[in-house]
Amino acid sequence: EVGKMKGECFRPLGRYDFLDLGEVEENTQRAQLCRTIKRFIIDPALAKLVTHHLGPDLEESKAVIFECNPGPGVLTRTLLNSGAQRVVTLEGEKSFLPDLQALECLLDGQLEVVHCDFFKLDPMGRGSMRPPAMYTDKLFTDLGISEANWTDEVPVKVVGILPQRIERSQLWKLLYVLFDRLSIYRYGRVELNMFISEKEYLKLMAKPGDMLNYRAFGALWQMACHIELLHKEPWASFVTSSKYKLAIPKSRLPNDNLCLVRMTPRKDLFSASLTPSNAATLVMMVKQCLAKRKARLVDRLNMWSPDSGPKLLKEMGMQEDVLTGHVYPEEYKQLFELVDKSQEFTQSWLYEEVLENTQKEGWI
Amino acid sequence: MHKIPHSYVDYFIIFSLPFLFAVLKARIQQLQSDVIVDVQHEKVQFVKASKSGIGASSGNSPKNVFGERTEVPKAGQTISKGGGQTGKGEGKDASASKSRWMEKLSQEKKTKTKKLKQKLGLEDKPVKSSKGKLMLPGTSHKTISTKAGIKTASTVKKSKTLKNQEHTMAASKHEHTMAAAPVAAANVPIRKAKGKGKASKEPAPELSEARNRAEEMERKAEAKAQELAEVEELERKLNQWAVSARPELVQDNSEARVYGDVQRSVRCYLEACVFCGDIDRAHRFLLGHHRMVSRRNLLNIGLYNIMMRVWAKKGSLNQIGRMFILIEEAGLKPNLGSYCAALECMGRNPDFNMCQVLRQMEEDGLPVDELFSHCVFRQDERDMVLRAIHTVQPDFQSSINTILQTCSSPLVKDFYTERADAKYPKMAFSLEELQERFSRQLSIEQASTITIHSVEAMKPCCLFQRDLLAVQRLVWHKALVGALREGKIILASSTQKAVRLSLYPYLCLLDEKDYVDIMIQSLSNLPPSGESLHILAKELGNRVHNMFCIRMKGHNQMVDKLSHIYNEYAELLAKDSKFDVLPRERWWKLEAEHSSGPSLLGDETHWPHMVVVELGTYLVDLMVKHMKVNSDILNSAYDRKLIPVLYHMYTFRSNKQVGFIKPHPILTQMQQDAMDTTLTFDSYVMPMLCPPVPWTSAKFGAYLLTPTKMMRAVEGANQHEILLEKCQDADLHAVLDSLNQLGNAAWRINQPLLDIIISIFNDKGSEKLDVPPPNSEAPKIPRYNQQDSATFTSAEKAHLKREVVNAKKKCSEMHSLRMDALYKLSIANHMRDEVFWFPHNMDFRGRTYPCPPYFNHLGSDVTRAVLVFAEGKPLGPGGLEWLKIHLVNLTGLKKRSSLAGRLEYANSIMDDILDSADNPLIGKKWWQNADEPWQTLACCMEIANAVRSPDPTHFISHFPVHQDGSCNGLQHYAALGRDVIGATSVNLIPCEVPQDVYSGVAQQVEEFRVRDAEKGLKIAQVLEGFISRKVVKQTVMTVVYGVTRYGGRLQIEKRLKEIDDFPKEYVWDASHYLVHQVFSSLKEMFTGTREIQDWLTESARLISKSGSTVEWVTPLGLPIIQPYHRSRTQMVRVNYLSLQITHDSKERPDTVKQKNAFPPNFIHSLDSTHMMLTALYCYSAGLTFVSVHDCFWTHAITVDTMNKVCREQFVALHSQPILQELSNFLLKKYLDSTALPMNLSLSLSHVCKECTNIHLLGSLLLWTLSHPVYAMYLLSLQTLFRPLDFFHVLRYVSLILK
């Protein structure tokens, strides 16, 4: 097919040759044949828009682009067409591989195809490790990407659609590995450009004072990343592989769109007092605090180290009766840094606590 | 054919249906036209007539208008409500309102459900019922002034005086708005004043109005077909409502349950108030409810009776009179309990004349005799009632019905009728011994907790730490007592006038000290990793409840009577007993003989789960807030600060946050250092020191004082209790008797073995021998700090993290295993010189369990090994051989050998056996490699002792020999499906060599594999040489209990991974392939099984889809209901703690669970029936018999007899048309009650008919079972005729035999 497209498979394509995206009809059909339930970008205009947001200087950027589950490869070709230097497609579905591999051999190293599901990286279970499940270090070593400093420029941009069923747990998993600097974040500040449901986005961005939606989940993401909403696209614009329409989860929050969200880890996330080794305690602390948003912060602190609450709050310049749901993510970070410095907390059980595996999907 | 023995079923069908229809029709009509207001008297009577049908059946005089009305308080409410709407709908266009009636109905339904959902005391806005308030003082004033309180009661009861009529009328109209009522009255121009103008004040005038509207409806009959469908839907709904209106006939629809729940919480609240002497509060509470119409409708007569009883005790006739008025107002009808209280009160004031009360009772159709057979008496109540009656009828004697009915099941007919040959086992104790044991047990239970020595070796160095902890405990004790006292004051004042349920009375039941003891005791059981708030709260709440129940029994003065009866009862069991009756019968008789004094049967209600949890949470809250310790207590280097020892925090389980209580590391450290030498348990944790009280009804038996449920249930589910209560007593006899027999088996400790186990336990434990090692052997939790972390690569860090998590998990697992073993061994050690008993109860499928939770014969290999029968019997001629065979069975070897083969094997290894017995820890340790090492060792010792005795046949053995069922589930399926090949492979049909179904399946799978391998299937080739019995066993075993392909694959995957040589990369494919093959082999081998399973599943699906819960009755008459419902969460909030409980039984059934669980549960229920039958017939043969589900134990000498009984009872059980009866029962229950929509009922009846086909296969199998000689012959025939019908085979056989 790809061969037919240009009729000259003997010569590697140059980077300025234009790739045909194929017929929308045909691509739709192919996407729908996929055995697992997924959404795909088929519409060329949408692909173009996503590419645009990954830019603007795709040709200049040194960051490798990881495309998750490209399917028929519309976005892949669009990315290549706009001059992306290095695209790695991580395709979990075997049936899409031959076509992508054919494209790979046509090109001169701009495209690498790996049988891998980004969302099954570093599984927790003890099951057999067969593609598409994979360890990150194998993936990155194979691709020749080495570990980088946290403050270096973004080494990898990931683009994809978070699978609807595991959306929340995936985001948690990524959050844990981010704070621990494990998995993909060993290789630097990997930037995510993900389509997530609107409701999840709104929860992610919930502000203090919104007692219903401001939770540890959003607070920690906001603390760790610079989050940008790039684009909202109605659900209907995506092609679903299921025979039945994938039901859009109901929510008290608006949920009419998929949101393209960019999550860039903050350069200054880690400091002298917050390091990947004690970040787990920070995560723990925030989760405990925000389990009940209407609890008083001072009570929580006193629980960990009696009488230290008022002192800490004073140091933070906060009111003594401040509720946990009114504290900003950055303030939690500062608070933790104070806690960590304070001698009084060394006896606290807060440090004894190890977060047990919270998700079926696993993390660590 | 054996008739369905459940009278409630018949009762329901015969009596309730016409009534329901009548109500329903009237209601529809009434709703259809709500403009024309008219009264037609005949119509009222029509409704009444159908009602009185029920009235009569439940013992009401049909004459009593009030009785009838009050019988259906709910319907009454619905009606009057409709009436209110009628008033409002006045003046609207008729046709418009006609089209609105559906809407109204749905509206009504909505408000109704909303109302029902309101929790008592939470959302309810007090409805001002000025009328009720006005009226109450008025009436009571009058009655009080009439000096003779008795008069009050009877006047009110006569209920024909105008005054009273008006009262009730007013009450019934409570829901009319003040404005609407007169308007409605004014708009009745054509009223036929047939009923003295009071007709309008008939209980349900609207019903009659409805009748005329029917004509209008007829005119529009052709209206819309769609409407008809709606009516049908409505019919169903209304049916349900109408049913719920009858509290004594609680059906399993949701509303009735809501009512039951509300009534239960109110009852418990009142009882708690009364118990702690806070009569004022109880009275206020009841009145508060009574005054709000919305709440009054939730009350039942029993709740008023509680207060009556209190006033009776005080001898306050005025108050009793008032209560009768209240009952009247509430539209209820006094029952035996109410009259009982009235009489009691008069008994205390003997000057009054009680003729009228008695007359009134008679009028109400309540014979005086029934007072004594139906009421529960406390303290001196019975004597007072008698005294009252004697003033009128000086020669009155309460005649107690001494005729015992027998169980109607044909399976136990012989057991109960042919007793001439029965030799019920006696115990080897004298009467005095038993009585002495009883008094010891009684004092233990009265103390409600028991402290025993821990077997953990004492460390000499920990004395200081022990003192430290003791001092701390005193400090905490003091702090908690203070806090509790303060908390109570706050609670008492804050709920002074509110109607809402408060915790206050529940905190006054015991002394403050007792609550605090309970709290501090719970601290020592708290695992270092913490416990979820819910579990902790539940434990605390239940402990308070237990202690309360025990105190209550003391308070009711029933302990003396219990001692008295028990001491006589013990004669039956003693060695020189002259009685030959069953324990239950004897007890029953004794109770009848000693009728004076309080009743033994406690009538206290189990607290609703919500109350238990709320109370527990309150106590946890106190603990978290007030238990503190100095931070420098263990390490003086730390700054001194008062820190709490418990923390409330959250853990997160797949996005759910769970409240968790954790001990501070300091506390854990202190407890570990102190190494408590004693353990404190609730008294019911220990086995009993005397034979348990026999179960004489579903509510009475087991422990002496500790409350025990006969049927264990999921928390919050009380459907089982309701079902059991509805059961006729006689129908449960067989079940009760088998529980009694299991509980009467006496045990003692195998001391030499216990000593060996304890020595290993106190050394380092042994994972191989299942003796958990101490915490010191646990892996150290790796720690890493920031300094080190720089040197680690991130991969190492990730690895380290995983290690930490794993280590933590391992530690907490080890801790809980260790504690469990510690409890078991300490209890065993405490019992080392005792003879003891395990009282039994059962789960909802009838499987029996010993009540003591830790140490019992159902436990692990270790606990089983230390238990032997207290009674010894000589081995007899075959006993030694059985011991040897038993030994081989315990090793797990020689599964495919015949009994002779096993015996031969045992004889060949006698050296090993004797060596194991003599040098268990230093010898060849042959026993350690057995499947069940400890039991094997115990058996080795027994054999050694026997063979070394002068004459083994006279050797007295206490040793239980086990007989295992071989895959019982499949046995039952094979028998149900009359499937000979299947039956053979599970040893139903005797063969020379015992069949092993697992090997059989493995062999079949291997055949498939060879075939596929030849075809070139890769995975089949890889699997060559790996298919064994072990790989398939678990899956085969669980298939019967509903394991799916998914679960089966996981099981096989696990087995394959255990095989070292098997290439790991093929595990997934291989397990996938194998599970498929196992399923097909089973299909091949057990032809009927699948069909029956499918039938059961499909029936359950249809039933639960229609909104009903699947119920059935075992062949022994035990009613069973599946407790799976969709969960509904309720919040419990106590101060800052809050937790969610998922509450069962109110919601609609969970279709998936109902359907998937029905086949296995049904099979389990058959299994338990078979066990019970075996138990009963073993009992009449004089055997000692205990069971571990499908494994039966007896003495070596009686194994043969037990096997014979077991087989006979299996045949007897399956000679019953079990499937047929099930099908009939389901059809009758779910079709006739019209609970099913049309399409579902059609499919259900279709499905049920299918099962008859299965049965047409005839009695072939049973025939072979009773003629084992022909078994093999038949087997070959069946293979021959396989494609043909089994009938052909049968006919062919009968021809040959002729």
- Interchain contact, B651 vs A137, CB within 8 Å: no
Confidence class of residue A346 from pLDDT cuts 50, 70 and 90? low
Choose among B1228, B1284, B1224: nearest CA to B1260: B1284
Residue in chain A closest to B1054 (alpha carbons) equals A127
pLDDT in tens, B903-932: 999 999 999 999 999 999 998 999 999 989
Q: Where are the alpha helices (DSSP H) in B644-708?
A: 665-674
pLDDT for residue B61 is more than 70: no
Task: Give yes or no for residue B102 having a pLDDT over 70.
Answer: no
Given this model, what pLDDT does residue B656 score? 74
**For position A189, what pLDDT does the model report?**
94
Q: Which range among B503-517, B826-840, B948-962, B1249-1263 shows the weakest confidence by mean pLDDT?
A: B1249-1263
Q: State phi, psi for A261 to the nearest 5 degrees.
A: -120, 135
Interface contact flag, B649 A295, Cβ < 8 Å? no
* pLDDT surpasses 90 at B463: no
- CA closest to B658 among chain A residues: A291
What is the reported pLDDT for B989? 62
Residue B542: pLDDT band by 50, 70, 90 thresholds?
very high
Question: What DSSP assignment string belongs to B338-360?
Answer: HHHHHHHHHHHSTTS--HHHHHH
Spatial distance between the Cα atoms of A319 and A304, rounded to a whole number of angstroms: 19
- What does the block give as tokens for B736? 């009760």
Confidence of residue B461 (pLDDT cuts 50, 70, 90): low
At B76, list the tokens.
Answer: 């009454």
Residues present in chain B in total? 1298
Q: Of B664, B789, B797, which has the smallest distance from its Cβ to A349's Cβ?
A: B664
Global confidence as pTM? 0.77
Q: What percent of chain A has pLDDT over 70?
A: 87
**In chain B, % of residues over pLDDT 90:** 24
DSSP A23-78: -HHHHHHHHHT-SS--EE---HHHHHHHHHHH-S-TTT--PEEEEE--TT-HHHHH
For B204, other C-beta atoms within 10 Å of its C-beta total 26
**pLDDT for position B1245:** 60
Contact yes or no for B657 and A354 at CB 8 A: no
CA distances from B134 to B137, B138, B141, B281, B292 (A): 6, 7, 11, 22, 13
What's the complex ipTM? Answer: 0.81
Residue B8 has pLDDT above 80, yes or no: no
Q: Is A364 on the interface with B (CB under 8 A)?
A: yes
Rounded-to-integer distance, Cα B737 and Cα B1179, Å: 10
Q: Which bin fits B224, alpha (ψ -120 to 50), beta or left (φ > 0)?
A: beta
Q: What is the mean pLDDT of residues B1088-1106?
A: 80
Which of A349, A358, A359 lies nearest to residue B665, judging by beta carbons? A349
What digits encode the pLDDT tens for the residues B963-1011? 886 567 777 887 777 666 666 666 666 666 667 778 888 888 999 999 9
Q: What is the mean pLDDT of residues B1211-1231?
A: 80
Annotation says B1190 is catalytic: yes
Top-confidence range, A11-20, B22-31, B677-686, B863-872 = B863-872
**A16: which residues sit within 8 A by CB, 6+ positions away?**
none
* Mutation choice for A interface testing from B643, B668, B669, B1131 by most A CBs within 10 A: B643
Q: Which residue of B has its CA nearest to A280?
A: B801
Tokens 């729908």 map to which residue? A32
> What's residue A350's pLDDT?
64
Q: For residue range A25-70, list pLDDT tens digits in order.
A: 888 888 888 888 889 999 999 999 999 998 777 777 888 999 999 9
Least confident of A119-128, B1034-1043, B1206-1215, B1289-1298: B1289-1298
Chain B residues whose CB is inside 8 A of the A278 CB are 786
Angle at which helix A308-316 crosses helix A297-304, to 10 degrees, equals 130
Which among B763, B964, B1069, B1285 is annotated as catalytic?
B964
Active site residue B1033: yes
Q: Which of B648-657, B715-724, B731-740, B790-799 has the highest mean pLDDT?
A: B731-740
Mutate to test the interface with A, among B533, B628, B654, B658 (most CBs of A within 10 A): B654
The sign of the torsion formed by the CA atoms of B565, B568, B573, B578 equals negative
Put simply, the answer to whether A137 touches B795 (Cβ < 8 Å) is yes
In degrees and rounded to multiples of 5, residue B838 shows phi and psi of -110, 110
Beta strands B678-682 and B449-453: pairing type? antiparallel
Test the B interface: residue of A167, A358, A359, A361 with most B CBs within 10 Å: A358
Q: Are B1144 and B714 in contact (CB under 8 A)?
A: yes
The tokens 């010993």 sit on which residue? B850
pLDDT of residue B80: 39
A356: left (phi over 0), alpha (psi -120 to 50) or beta: beta
For range B215-230, the mean pLDDT: 50
pLDDT over 90 (residue B694):
yes
What's the average model confidence in pLDDT over A216-226? Answer: 95
pLDDT tens-digit map of B1271-1284:
444 444 444 333 33
Rounded average pLDDT over B738-744? 94
Contacting residues of A for B789, CB less than 8 Å apart: 275-277
**CA B1108, CA B902: separation in Å to the nearest integer?**
51
What single-letter amino acid sits at B292? M
In sequence order, the β-bridge partners of residue A66 are A88, A158
In tens, the pLDDT along B648-667 reads 888 877 667 788 898 888 88
Q: Is A263 helix (H, G, I), strand (E, B) or coil?
A: strand
Q: Single out the catalytic residue among B1033, B1105, B1146, B1229.
A: B1033
Per-residue pLDDT, averaged over A63-78, amounts to: 92
CA-based nearest residue to A279, from B794, B657, B532: B794
Q: Among B582-586, B652-656, B909-913, B1266-1270, which stretch is predicted with the lowest mean pLDDT?
A: B1266-1270
CA distance A159 to A260: 9
Instruction: Give the torsion through C-alpha atoms of A354, A355, A360, A361, to 10 deg.
Output: -100
Task: Examine the pLDDT at B835 and tell me if it is beyond 80.
Answer: yes
pLDDT reading at B199 higher than 50: no
Query: Which residue in this structure is represented by tokens 């009585």?
Result: B435
- The shortest CB-CB distance from B657 to any of A147, A291, A364 is to A291
For the stretch B142-164, pLDDT in tens is: 333 333 334 434 433 443 434 44
Of residues B33 and A339, the one with the higher pLDDT is: A339
Q: What is the CB neighbour count within 10 angstroms for residue B678?
A: 10
Does B655 contact A364 at a Cβ distance shorter than 8 Å?
Answer: no
Pinpoint the alpha helices (H) of B159-253: 162-172, 180-186, 205-219, 225-244
Q: Which of B1048, B1005, B1000 is nearest to B1027 (CA)?
A: B1005
* Residue A78 banded pLDDT, cuts 50, 70, 90: very high
Separation of alpha carbons B826 and B1163, rounded Å: 37
Position B1228 scores a pLDDT of 78
Instruction: For residue A213, give the amino acid letter.
Output: N
> Dihedrals φ, ψ of B250, to 5°?
-70, 115
Task: Among A213-217, B270-274, B794-798, B975-979, name the one with the lowest average pLDDT.
Answer: B794-798
A283 in Cβ contact with A252 (< 8 Å): no
Q: Is B647 helix (H, G, I), strand (E, B) or coil?
A: strand
Q: Using DSSP, state whether B24 is helix, strand or coil.
A: helix
- Asked if B935 and B920 touch (Cβ cutoff 8 Å), the reply is no
**Distance from chain centroid for Cα A15:** 29
Q: How far apart are CA B725 and CA B720, in angstroms?
A: 8
Residue with token string 């899409």: A96
Q: What is the pLDDT of residue B85?
A: 40
Span B107-137, pLDDT tens digits: 554 554 454 444 333 333 333 333 333 333 3
What is the spatial distance between Cα B1011 and Cα B1030, in angstroms, rounded to a whole number?
Answer: 21
Whether B1065 has a pLDDT exceeding 60, the answer reads: yes
Average pLDDT over residues B887-915: 89
Supply B988's token pair: 């139903």
Sort out which chain B residues have CB atoms less than 8 A from A169's CB and list them. 654-655
Closest CA to B171 of B82, B293, B79, B288: B293
Contact A9, A3 (CB under 8 A): yes
B631 contacts in chain A (CB < 8 Å): 347
Are B710 and B738 within 8 A, CB to CB? no
Contacts of B627 in chain A (CB under 8 A): none
Structure tokens at B627: 């238990």
Bigger pLDDT: B1166 or B598?
Answer: B1166
Cβ-based neighbours of B1264, under 8 Å, separated by 6 or more: B980, B983, B989, B1270, B1271, B1274
* Residue A322 in this model has a pLDDT that exceeds 60: yes
Give dist(CA B703, CA B441) in Å, integer: 9
User: What tokens does B1292 get?
Assistant: 């062919």
Residue showing tokens 């769609």: B226
User: Which residues in chain B are closer than 8 Å to A360, comparing Cβ atoms?
Assistant: 654
Residue A182 has its nearest CB partner, among B648, B798, B804, at B798
Cβ atoms of B279 and B271 within 8 Å: the answer is: no
Q: Does A295 touch chain B (CB under 8 A)?
A: yes
Quick one: average pLDDT of B449-466? Answer: 78
DSSP B467-492: HHHHHHHHHHHHHHHHHHHHHHHHHH
Give B999-1026 as a DSSP string. Answer: HHHHHHHHHHHHHHHHTT-HHHHHTTTT
Least CB–CB distance from B794: residue in A182, A357, A358: A182
The mean pLDDT value for B89-101 works out to 44
Instruction: Identify the pLDDT of residue B954.
Output: 94
Tell me which residue in A276, A307, A356 faces B641 most closely, judged by beta carbons. Answer: A307
Position of tokens 């005294």? B387
SS3 letters across B842-871: ECCCCCEEECCCCCCCCCCHHHHHCEEECC
Residues of B in contact with A307 (CB under 8 A): 641
Q: Are A6 and A13 in contact (CB under 8 A)?
A: yes
Residue located via tokens 């200054």: A268
What is the reported pLDDT for B1236?
Answer: 53
Mean pLDDT of B1167-1177: 92
| B59 has a pLDDT exceeding 50 | no
Grade residue B1162 by pLDDT with cuts at 50, 70 and 90.
very high
User: Per-residue confidence at B1216, pLDDT binned at 50, 70, 90?
Assistant: confident
Interface size A-B, in CB pairs within 8 Å, comes to: 76
Long-range contacts of A68-71 (CB under 8 A, 24+ apart): A68/A117, A68/A118, A68/A119, A68/A158, A68/A159, A68/A160, A68/A161, A69/A38, A69/A40, A69/A93, A69/A117, A69/A118, A69/A160, A69/A161, A70/A96, A70/A100, A71/A30, A71/A31, A71/A34, A71/A38, A71/A40, A71/A41, A71/A42, A71/A96
